[in-house]
Amino acid sequence: MIRFPSTALLLGLAGLVVAACGEAPPPTTVADRFTIAEPGPIPVTAQQPGDPAAGYRTLLNRGYVSCGIPYAAFRSSDIFPAGEHRLSGREGRNAELPYMFNSTVNPDGVELVVSNCLTCHASEFGGELVIGLGNPFLDFTGDPAVTAELLGAFVEDGAPAAAWAKWADRIAAIAPYMVTDTVGVNPAPNLTLALIAHRNAETLAWYAEPRLEPPPREPLPTKVPPWWRMQHKAAMFYNGSGRGDHVRYMMMKSLVCTDDIDEAAEIADWFKDVRAYIASLEPPAYPYPVDADLAKEGEPVFARTCAGCHGTHGAERSYPNLLVDLETVGTDPAYARQAVESERFVRWFNRSFYGQGAEAMPALGYVAPPLEAVWATAPYLHNGSVPSLAALLDSTQRPTYWQLRTDPREYDPDTLGWRFDVLESGKEAAESPELAKRVYDTTRHGYGNQGHRFGDALSEQERRALLEYLKTL
C-alpha cells in the first residue's frame, strides 16, 4: 500500500470547484455568477494551444507548487520513500527525487522539494508507472499536519525555517478537510475548497483564518479519472463543472502557495503546455490476451447499450459529452448535491483569476465519461464504489463491504478490476482502526454503489462479450 501523508496535502489539480458563501463578496459582476447546469450535451470549448513536450518538462521539473520542504530537511528526515520508478526527462535534482516530487528554489535561495501532479495522476500497472492513471491504492487517512511538524525538526534556522513555516502553516490550515477514513479514495475536491476558503478571490492573498465557511471536514470519496480522457472532454469534472479554459482548473494545485496574480499568471502560461501534454496522452493497450471472436460479439452490445452516453470508437469515433441527470443514472447523489446546494466556492472561482475564460457550473447529475482503457481504471463510478467492471455490469455482484488486496496487488483480467475481498460487515467490525481504514463501506454517506444498472438487462453471455469488447478500447 502506498502512503504519502504529506504529499496529499499538496493536491488541488484534481480539485472540483463547487459549493456556497461566507466571505462578503464585492458587488455582483458578470463574473460573479452561479448557474446550475441542465442535463444534456455539454458544449465543447476551444482550448489554448500549447507545446506537449514543454508541458511534460514542466510537469516533471518545475515548481508550480512554490512552497514545500527544504531539501536538506527532506534528505535528512528519511520519511519519504526513495521510489522505484524513474521517469525520462527529469532534470538536475529532479532526477534524484521520487517521481511525485519536484525541486525548486524560492526567492530567498532555499532549495525546496515540492509535490507535483503525479502524486495522484500516476499509478503502477503491470510493473510500469503509467502517467495519467489514477492510483486506487493511495492512502490519505493520515494527518499531514503531523508530518509537516515532524519535518520541522530537520530544518535549519534562517531562510530555510521561514520556508518551512510558510508550507507548514498552509498544511495546518487545510489538513482537517483532507483526511479520509478510507484508503483509496481521494480528497482533492475538498482540499481545493479548503484552500479557496483562505484566499481573496481578487488578489489571491492568503488569510490565516478562512474568509469563507470551510467545506465539511469529512471529504466525500472521489476517484481520480485518467488523464487520457481529457482530449475528448468538454467539462473536467464528474458533475459537469469545469467548463471553458481547462488550464485554469489544471493549475489550481498551485493554490497551496501562490499568493498573488503575477505568480498565478506565470504558472498559467506554463500550464498551456501541460494541458497540451495531457491532451496528447493516448490510452494504454490492454496487456493480456483478448478473445477476438467474443470481443466482436460484444461490439453490437456496446453500440446498443453503452454508446448513446459514452460514445463510439473506431474510424467514426464520437463522444457526446453527455450530462445525465441523477434520476436516470441513479448513482450516489451526494457529490453532485454538495456542489449545487451551496454557492460560495462557485462564485469565488468565477470571479477569481482562475475563472477568467472558465466557469464552474455544477449540475444535479454526472457526465458519462469516454471509455478508452476503461479496463485500467478500477474501481468504478465517481466514488470508486464498485471494484470491477463485471460488477458494474451486474449490480447483483456488487459487494456492500469490500477491500482491495494489497499483498500481493493483483489485477483480475476476467472481471477487469483489482482483486478484492468481500467482507461480511463494515468498518465498525474491523479488528483495529488501521484495518477499518481499508474497508470500503457502501452504506456510508457518499460511498453508495447503487445506480448505473444498464447492464442488468443483458444476458450473461452478452455481459461476457461486452467485457471482452471493452478490453479492446
Distance in angstroms (rounded) separating the CA atoms of residues 392 and 223: 15
| Whole-number pLDDT of residue 231 | 96
Number of domains present in the structure of the chain: 2
Q: Is the pLDDT of residue 29 over 70?
A: no
Q: Is the pLDDT of residue 11 over 60?
A: no
Distance in angstroms (rounded) separating the CA atoms of residues 333 and 382: 10
Which cell numbers in the block locate residue 283?
Answer: 490510452
Q: Verify that 447 and 385 share a domain, yes or no.
A: yes
Q: How far is CA 35 from CA 20, 23, 343, in A?
A: 12, 19, 9
Q: For the residues 53-64, what does the mean pLDDT come to?
A: 97
User: Is there a domain that residue 357 lies in?
Assistant: no
Q: For the residues 110-127, what does the mean pLDDT come to?
A: 95
Q: Verify that 230 and 297 share a domain, yes or no.
A: no
pLDDT band at 17 (very low <50, low <70, confident <90, very high): very low
Q: Verify that 300 and 263 share a domain, yes or no.
A: no
pLDDT in tens, 393-437: 999 999 999 999 998 999 999 999 999 999 999 999 999 999 999
Q: Is the pLDDT of residue 243 over 50?
A: yes
Question: What is the radius of gyration, based on Cα positions, of the chain?
Answer: 22
User: Is there a domain that residue 344 lies in?
Assistant: no
Distance in angstroms (rounded) separating the CA atoms of residues 465 and 227: 27
Do the beta carbons of residue 230 and residue 247 sit within 8 Å? no
Distance in angstroms (rounded) separating the CA atoms of residues 124 and 133: 8
Q: For the residues 39-55, what does the mean pLDDT come to?
A: 97
Q: How far is CA 251 from CA 285, 377, 383, in A?
A: 29, 23, 23
Q: Which residues contact 158 (CB under 8 A, 6 or more apart)?
A: none
Which cell numbers in the block locate residue 432?
Answer: 483495529
Q: Is the pLDDT of residue 10 over 60?
A: no
Q: For cell 492513471, name the residue.
A: 133
| Whole-number pLDDT of residue 80 | 79
Do the beta carbons of residue 453 and residue 394 sit within 8 Å? no
Distance in angstroms (rounded) separating the CA atoms of residues 8 and 85: 19
Q: Which of 216, 245, 280 is the last residue of a domain?
A: 280
pLDDT in tens, 204-220: 999 999 999 999 999 99
Q: Verify that 306 and 272 share a domain, yes or no.
A: no
Distance in angstroms (rounded) separating the CA atoms of residues 94 and 71: 11
User: Is there a domain that residue 81 lies in?
Assistant: yes
Element (DSSP H or E) covering residue 422? strand 420-422
Which cell numbers in the block locate residue 471?
Answer: 478490453
Q: For the residues 285-306, what does the mean pLDDT come to?
A: 98
With a pLDDT cut of 90, the percent of the chain lying above it is 88
Q: Which of 249, 280, 311 is the last residue of a domain?
A: 280
- H and E: helices and strands count for the chain: 15, 17
Return the SS3 of 472: coil
Q: Is the pLDDT of residue 317 over 60?
A: yes
Distance in angstroms (rounded) separating the CA atoms of residues 430 and 106: 45
Distance in angstroms (rounded) separating the CA atoms of residues 440 and 218: 15
User: Is there a domain that residue 113 lies in?
Assistant: yes
Q: Verify that 158 and 214 share a domain, yes or no.
A: yes
Q: Verify that 141 and 276 share a domain, yes or no.
A: yes
Element (DSSP H or E) covering residue 105? strand 101-105
Q: Verify that 88 and 223 share a domain, yes or no.
A: yes
Q: Verify that 270 and 301 share a domain, yes or no.
A: no
| Whole-number pLDDT of residue 13 | 33
Task: List % helix, strand, coil for the chain (3-state, nearest 5).
Answer: 35, 15, 50
Q: Verify that 216 and 302 share a domain, yes or no.
A: no
Q: Verify that 261 and 318 share a domain, yes or no.
A: no
Burial state string for 133-154 with b = 16 or more CB within 10 A and e = fewer than 16: bbbbebbbbbbbbebbeebbeb
Q: Verify that 320 and 198 share a domain, yes or no.
A: no
Q: For the residues 456-466, what does the mean pLDDT come to?
A: 98
Q: Which domain covers residue 22, as residue numbers?
A: 2-280
pLDDT band at 339 (very low <50, low <70, confident <90, very high): confident
User: Is there a domain that residue 361 lies in?
Assistant: no
User: Is there a domain that residue 56 lies in?
Assistant: yes
User: Is there a domain that residue 24 lies in?
Assistant: yes
pLDDT in tens, 368-398: 999 999 999 999 999 999 999 999 999 999 9
User: Is there a domain that residue 351 lies in?
Assistant: no
Q: Verify that 205 and 128 share a domain, yes or no.
A: yes
